Amino acid sequence: MFNQPHSRILRRSSSILMFAGLFFIVGVHPTMADEIAIWNFNDSDLLVDHGTGTLTSNFVPSNLVFAAGTTNNARLGDVAGQALSLQAGTGTTNNSRNITLNVSTVGLSNIVVSFATQGTSTGFNSNQFQYSLDGTNFFDFGSPYVPAAAFGAVPLVFTLSSIAGLNNNPNAAFRIIFNGASSSTGNNRIDNIVIEGTSGSSIPEPTTALLLISGLTGLIGMKRKRRKTASRTAPPHSF
């Protein structure tokens, strides 16, 4: 008889701990990626096709043309359509020039930039991907890449989850600097540029987890204290 209150406490404590365990299990479920901006170039312009963002370039305008695209990295049912073709231009004047993407990542983290690309044998064969936290100062991310000769099936992917400053940033920007073209007709094509991130958090923050554990421990302690007090003040049992 005297063990009943203690047993009830244990049962309630176990229920609370089971709830806490469920919280952590739910907390580690992966979140889905949200597409911030997509350029498919099917309208033969530099305007964003899905989402919100801007694409600008300092290439000679006549060397920004459009050619056959691909479904590699296409989203939301986009067809192959057109791709952006960047030409080296007279005297390969566009070596060291770029395209720049500006977006807001507010509410998002784990930013990823991906696109399909291909290049001709005399096109840009040393291209540097960069990121910016303020839209002005850019930093190299990884080594220069060399485009394949054809689009193929696998896009080029830059996973920027290690750059915490890109998370929840209204001034995030990305840039590709093109180099290595050896003839005026050399070119690279880019298609289906996608910038995406994840909303929310995949696991509880350490502070949140600590507060939850502390709160549960305190609740269990209060329950036990109340039971002990009630046991001491209760009238003796008569048999």
Label residue 23 by pLDDT band (50, 70, 90): very low
Q: Nearest-CA neighbor of 157 among 133, 174, 139, 172?
A: 174
Report how far residue 160's alpha carbon sits from residue 82's, in angstroms, rounded to the nearest whole number: 27
**Quick check: 157 pLDDT over 70?**
yes
Cβ atoms of 84 and 41 within 8 Å: the answer is yes
Q: Using pLDDT thresholds of 50, 70 and 90, give the confidence band for residue 27.
A: very low
- Note the pLDDT of residue 19: 39
Please compute, for residue 229, the number of CA atoms within 13 A of its CA located in the half-sphere on the CB side: 6
Share of the chain above pLDDT 90, in %: 69
Q: How confident is the model at residue 214 (pLDDT cuts 50, 70, 90)?
A: low
Phi-psi region of 217 (alpha: psi -120 to 50; beta: other; left: phi over 0): alpha
Q: How many residues does the chain have?
A: 239
Report DSSP state, residue 3.
T
In this prediction, residue 106 carries a pLDDT of: 98
**pLDDT tens digit sequence for 40-58:** 999 999 999 999 999 999 9
The pLDDT value given to residue 83: 98
Whether the per-residue pLDDT at 143 is higher than 90: the answer is yes
Q: Quick one: pLDDT band at residue 184, thresholds 50, 70, 90?
A: very high
Taking the model in full, what pTM does it have?
A: 0.73
Q: Over 70: is that where the pLDDT of 141 sits?
A: yes
**CB within 8 A of 14, min separation 6: which ones?**
none
Is the model's pLDDT at 86 over the cut of 80? yes
Closest CA to 112 of 30, 36, 2, 6: 36
Question: 51-56 long-range contacts, Cβ below 8 Å, gap at least 24?
Answer: 51/103, 51/195, 52/103, 52/104, 53/101, 53/102, 53/103, 53/195, 54/101, 54/102, 54/103, 55/99, 55/100, 55/101, 55/193, 56/99, 56/100, 56/102
Over the chain, what is the mean pLDDT? 83
Domains of the chain: 42-199 (2.60.120.260)
Residue 201 is predicted with a pLDDT of 53
Q: How much is the pLDDT for 22?
A: 38
Rounded to an integer, the average pLDDT of 103-130 is 98
Nearest-angstrom CA–CA distance, 167 and 109? 4
